[in-house]
Amino acid sequence: MSDLAGQRRMAAAILKCGANRVWFDPERQADIEAAISRNDLRELIENGAIKAHIIKGNSRGRTRARTAKRSYGHRKGPGSRKGAAGARSSSKRMWIGKIRAQRRVLREMRDDGRIDRSLYRVMYRRASGGQFRSVSHLAAHVETMAGRMR
């Protein structure tokens, strides 16, 4: 077995890849050994005696499958959780979702005429202060307040 390190190095430079990706055809080893100039190597590359292996990548198939399962709630149990509750979903994002829903419902109630403007304003301020856990909690309070005002 002859030393083809020089040819491998030059072929890597011509193919613009690393030396480990250069493939020599075992049948044409004598021709490759005789090639001493870059032009000789370019001819061998054109003839297919020297090639560059394709870059190996990591398959994302398993990751896609796992992500798809997580999208509908699987693989999210306590054994899979690493961060604290606040790290997995920030308390600010939860607040934003909750307050926007409550304000939307309050607007609908005001526009439908279920509550008047003054009650709307009172309930809006209470929602902003964090008095209500959810939209249903807010709606229950609105019912009791509307009953008192009549």
Would residue 37 count as lying in a domain?
Answer: yes
Contact criterion met (CB below 8 Å) for 128 and 103: no
Question: What percent of the chain clears pLDDT 70, i.e. is strictly above it?
Answer: 98
pLDDT of residue 112: 96
Q: Is residue 65 part of a domain?
A: no
Is 0.75 surpassed by the pTM of this model?
no
Q: What is the pLDDT of residue 7?
A: 95
pLDDT of 100 over the 90 cut: yes
Q: Is residue 17 part of a domain?
A: yes
Domain around 105? 90-149
Kindly indicate the confidence band of residue 141, based on its pLDDT and cuts at 50, 70 and 90: very high
The reply to whether 60 falls in a domain is no
Tell me whether residue 41 is in a domain: yes
Residue with tokens 């080893």: 29
Residue 58 lies in a domain: no
Q: Which residue has the tokens 């690393």?
A: 18
pLDDT value at position 1? 53
Residue 2's pLDDT band (cuts 50, 70, 90): confident
CATH number at residue 95: 1.10.1200.60
Which CATH number fits the domain that encloses residue 40? Answer: 1.10.1650.10
- What pLDDT was estimated at residue 105? 97
Q: Per DSSP, what are the bridge partners of residue 23?
A: 51
- Whether residue 126 is contained in a domain is answered as yes
User: Residues 95, 145: one domain?
Assistant: yes
Cα-based torsion angle of the residue sequence 93, 98, 99, 101 in order, rounded to the nearest 10 degrees? 120
The proportion of the chain whose per-residue pLDDT surpasses 90, expressed as a percent, equals 91
Q: What is the pLDDT of residue 147?
A: 76
C-alpha span between 133 and 15 (Å, rounded): 64
Look at residue 150 in the predicted model and tell me its pLDDT: 60
Question: Could you read off the pLDDT of 42-92 as tens digits, one per residue?
Answer: 999 999 999 999 999 999 999 999 999 999 999 999 999 999 988 988 999
Give the pLDDT mean for 15-21: 96
For tokens 């292996």, the residue is 53
The predicted structure's pLDDT at residue 3: 87
In order, the DSSP letters of 76-128 are: -SGGG--S-HHHHS-HHHHHHHHHHHHHHHHHHHHHHTSS-HHHHHHHHHHHH
Tally of domains in the chain = 2
Q: Please identify which residue in the block is written with the tokens 């990548």.
A: 57
